[in-house]
Amino acid sequence: MVTTRFAPSPTGRLHVGNIRTALHNWMLARKHGGRFLLRIDDTDPDRSKEEYVDAIRADLSWLGIEAEGEERQSERMDRYNAAFDALREAGRVYPCYETAQELDLRRKILLGRGLPPIYDRAALTLSESERAAKEAEGIKPHWRFKLDHDETIEWDDGVRGHQKFDPATLSDPVIRRADGSWLYMLPSAVDDVDMGVTHVLRGEDHVSNTAVQIQMFTALHAAAGGAQQKTPEFAHEALLVGREGKLSKRLGSLGCDAFREKGIEPEALVALLARLGTSLPVEPIADRNTLIESFDLSTFGRAPAKFDDAELERINTAIVHQLSFDEVRERLPAGMDEAGWHAVQPNLSTIGEASEWWRLVTGPIDRLDFSAEDRAYLSEAARLLEWSEDPWRSLTTALKEATGRKGKPLFLPLRQALTGMDHGPDMGELLPLIGEAEVRARLEHAAHH
């Protein structure tokens, strides 16, 4: 069964890049009738906060991204310790005693010589007595995973095609700090094995991590002594950039709260992010199933995916124009019925704007100044007003015959007198909502003031 996962660290709120990753993993699982898992990567107790765990769940729920299961890394420490011990026994992890300053200096020296800044494996040359001496000085080791330099790393990436790495060009990654806390690499690989993850879809900034983790999967299977489990399939999608083409800090802080405050519908955000960076057109598709059916990694491009607020707003407006009264009923101003929604809907770019337009029905409206000629015209309108199934058509037809006006001079003073605006919803739909007495009162007020 296709199994994907989204694995955020609860050290902050989800931003638009995280949301896109979560959405694509959810869609990949749904497309194949598989499972989508939420994994909270909370191995760092100092930076992980429960309020962020709650916020991550709430944001995914708002977006309609439902997980079939949830795991917490903080509850799986025994598994990581067991995997670590097995890898240590197999000679695949080793202790290192360099300080951060020493490592930084070595990197600078290598870069100064025009060489790649790769860890030189100096810790492997230490004798038992040298290690004992370091620990007697109170220096606790951090631990690295030992890459197999004889094993070329290759995989067929779902987005980037065939990938090949020479492990000798990579540093042995630090997997555990001196205080015993974990870095991302090993717990993630252990979890993917234990949870039966079949597809890892993430940003292209993880490509070198994948190269390292592929060897970790092999080493974990070997250390466990079990049957060789299939390594997950990997796909690395291009990162999001702003409209100006740069990776922006703004995108890193743009999350669900910001979108909600602007009146963006979750369907609009999903419709945009589902296809951003693919060869498929970004369209205001509110039906998730349509988006899922068309989801295909082969359509993903290598170029950075441009996130554009204007495009999101355009899609949002189109989505709002598709929503039925039943879908929005709870979010409309008091008293607005289906006819009211139908009248104002074409003028909305967000549902929050409905209350502004509804004011045209309930009042008070802005009072405008009219010329003597227009006041006489509006007085005639009040006199000719007869209520019918279509009062606007009856009124404008009678006025056209009585005054000879047509086009803008016929319609605009009426709209201004009845709504206080030059533009807005269809007057034929508004008049029955305003009601005969109020329509007459507004016309007479405009005619005499």
The residue ranges of every structural domain in the chain are: 325-362, 372-448
The rounded distance, in Å, linking the Cα atoms of 115 and 3 is 40
380 CA to centre of own chain: 56
- Is the pLDDT assigned to residue 244 strictly greater than 80? no
Tens digits of per-residue pLDDT, 321-331? 999 999 999 99
Phi, psi dihedrals of residue 258, rounded to the nearest 5° = -65, -40
- pLDDT at res. 245: 66
Percent of the chain with pLDDT over 70: 98
263 within 8 A of 228, measured Cβ to Cβ: no
Phi, psi dihedrals of residue 184, rounded to the nearest 5° = -60, -40
The rounded distance, in Å, linking the Cα atoms of 240 and 383 is 61
Least confident piece of the model among 119-128, 226-235, 425-434: 226-235
Residue 226: CB atoms within 10 A of its CB come to 10
One-letter amino acid of 178: A
Helix axes 207-224, 185-194, angle to 10 degrees: 60
The residues facing 240 across adjacent strands are 305
pTM of the predicted protein model: 0.90
- Is the pLDDT assigned to residue 240 strictly greater than 60? yes
Tens digits of per-residue pLDDT, 274-286? 999 999 999 999 9
Tens digits of per-residue pLDDT, 94-141? 999 999 999 999 999 999 999 999 999 999 999 999 999 999 999 999
Q: Which long-range contacts (CB under 8 A, 24 or more apart) does 218-224 make?
A: 218/151, 219/87, 219/90, 219/92, 219/145, 219/148, 220/83, 220/86, 220/87, 220/189, 220/190, 220/193, 221/193, 222/90, 223/83, 223/86, 223/87, 223/89, 223/90, 223/92, 224/86
- Is the pLDDT assigned to residue 159 strictly greater than 80? yes
- pLDDT at res. 251: 75
Tens digits of per-residue pLDDT, 44-80? 888 899 999 999 999 999 999 999 999 999 999 999 9
Least confident piece of the model among 6-10, 94-98, 445-449: 445-449
Altogether, the residues listed in the chain come to a count of 449
Q: Is 249 annotated as a binding residue?
A: yes
Percent of the chain with pLDDT over 90: 92
Structure tokens at 425: 């919803």
**Quick one: fold of 372-448?**
Arc Repressor Mutant, subunit A (1.10.10)
Give, for 264, the enclosing helix (H) or strand (E).
none
Residue 386: CB atoms within 10 A of its CB come to 10
The rounded distance, in Å, linking the Cα atoms of 405 and 379 is 14
- Is the pLDDT assigned to residue 201 strictly greater than 90? yes
Nearest to 50 by CA among 15, 11, 22, 77: 11
Mode of pairing for the β-strands spanning 174-176 and 142-145: antiparallel
Using pLDDT thresholds of 50, 70 and 90, give the confidence band for residue 248: low
- Is the pLDDT assigned to residue 237 strictly greater than 80? yes
